[in-house]
Amino acid sequence: MDHFHYRDRDLYCEDLPAAELADRFGTPLYVYSASAFVDRLAELHSAFAALDPLVCYSVKANSNLGLLKLMAGHGSGFDVVSGGELYRVRKAGGAPSKTVFAGVGKTDEEIREALRAGVMLFNVESEAELEAIDAVARAEGVKAPIALRVNPDVDPKTHRYISTGKKESKFGMDVDRALLAAESVLGMRGLAMTGLHMHIGSQITSTEPYAHASARAAELVDRLRGMGHEITWCNMGGGFGIDYRGGESRPIAEFAEVMVPVLRETGCRLAMEPGRSIAGNAGVLLSRVIFTKQSGDKRFVIQDAAMNDLIRPALYEGFHRIWPVRVPEGSPSWPDDFEAPIPGTEPRDVVGPVCESGDFLAKDRALPPTARGDLLAVFSAGAYGMVMASNYNTRPRAAEVLVQGSEATLVRRRETYDDLLGPELDVPS
């Protein structure tokens, strides 16, 4: 909440009133704080400084070109999971040599593009993928730098949809398979194994899974080196949790505290792939109330941001704090606990205009009285927000604005109806 804060009763992003942004750019509107991105990157660099870290910002959390440019300008590397994301990174001026490429289903075409671009590491998720990368690399006359993605079999105790490091996950390989695969890599001329990769899940709010994963990583680096692989990178993925409700996350320094001493023993450089922990609390979604309505005992606030703009509540029961952009007298300007009774509020369902019962941003949420035209802020919307937006119900996607100090830059204009119909009209008739 440092970069988004209330002055008196008005929400600000850095030095700009949110209401002014909504008036100028319309709603629904994603608003990002540049300082929040940059400060978080610096915090990661300093917490893990002993491991000469390379932060590879996870592009899938928020892939806006303006943000990628900002991050590249501050020395960030990138974690991509598709050819499209790699294309974005390059358009934004990001360095492929600081970019790692993950994903369970890389196509030959994507592998070729990434090889030609010169990515730093392929994070390899299966034996079949090893063979595919080897074949493409040999055809290109190069050696592909790879890391095996290993499942340390830890339960990160997060939502089941975002847990990835367990044995039965579709991602990566278990330790025994990885060791066998590492043997076979020795005979593949198109591959050079220079790293080890783990990514155990997302929104992880305790340090224990990282302590466990780091210990497994250190053991494995030893064994891989014993086979003759020159391992120089330990890539521990992303997954650090953030505060959605308030108070549930751990400071980055606490994760570093359990990881650094173990990983330092390996002599590897640390690569990491944080997405949510950089972008999540660096963005809010602003919406405007269209109608209020009562059905039986239930009160609804129908506002112009819908599940197509932010699907986390519908998809994985994601909780987002929601509070008025201008707080009325009689309500606290920023409640400590959004789930406890709050003076001057009543429970309301915050819903959008999409024709689905799953179209809600919050249910039974304590909110001050709102009226048609009022603005609401949906917090912690910087990660897995706009990137998952769709055009369902033929709704143009929201605009995105990047704020730095008292300057606001439009980094994605609002879509028009013609943008939506373009690909359907652009066909032989």
Ligand X SMILES: *Cc1c(COP(=O)(O)O)cnc(C)c1O
Can you give the binding site for ligand X, defined by CB under 6 A? 58, 60-61, 79, 81, 102, 199, 202, 237-239, 273-277, 383
- Give min distance, CB of 26 to ligand X, in A: 28
With respect to ligand X, which residue has the nearer C-beta, 159 or 225? 159
Count of CB atoms within 10 A of residue 330's CB?
Answer: 10
237 is in an annotated binding site: no
With respect to ligand X, which residue has the nearer C-beta, 313 or 382? 382
210 is in an annotated binding site: no
417 is in an annotated binding site: no
- Give min distance, CB of 275 to ligand X, in A: 3
With respect to ligand X, which residue has the nearer C-beta, 11 or 36? 36
DSSP 61: G
230 is in an annotated binding site: no
With respect to ligand X, which residue has the nearer C-beta, 64 or 331? 64
Size (the chain), residues = 429
Query: Among residues 13, 56, 268, 355, which one is catalytic?
Result: 355
Answer left, alpha or beta for residue 305, where phi above 0 means left and psi between -120 and 50 means alpha: beta
- Is 355 an active-site residue? yes
Token pair listed for 84:
């499209």
275 is in an annotated binding site: yes
274 is in an annotated binding site: yes
Token pair listed for 370:
């709102």
- Give min distance, CB of 347 to ligand X, in A: 30
CA distance 279 to 258: 23
- Give min distance, CB of 205 to ligand X, in A: 11
CA distance 241 to 248: 8
With respect to ligand X, which residue has the nearer C-beta, 103 or 368? 103
Instruction: Spell out a b/e string for 163-186, using b for 16 or more CB atoms within 10 Å of the CB, else e.
Output: bbbbeebebbbebeebbebbeebe
Token pair listed for 339:
């789930």
Residue 113 parent element (H or E): helix 108-117
Q: Phi/psi of residue 408, each to 5°?
A: -115, 130
- Give min distance, CB of 364 to ligand X, in A: 27
Ranges assigned E (strand) in 141-282 = 144-151, 173-174, 191-197, 233-235, 269-272
Numbered residues of the known binding site for pyridoxal 5'-phosphate: 239, 273-276, 384
Q: Which residues are catalytic?
A: 355
Numbered residues of the known binding site: 239, 273-276, 312, 316, 356, 384
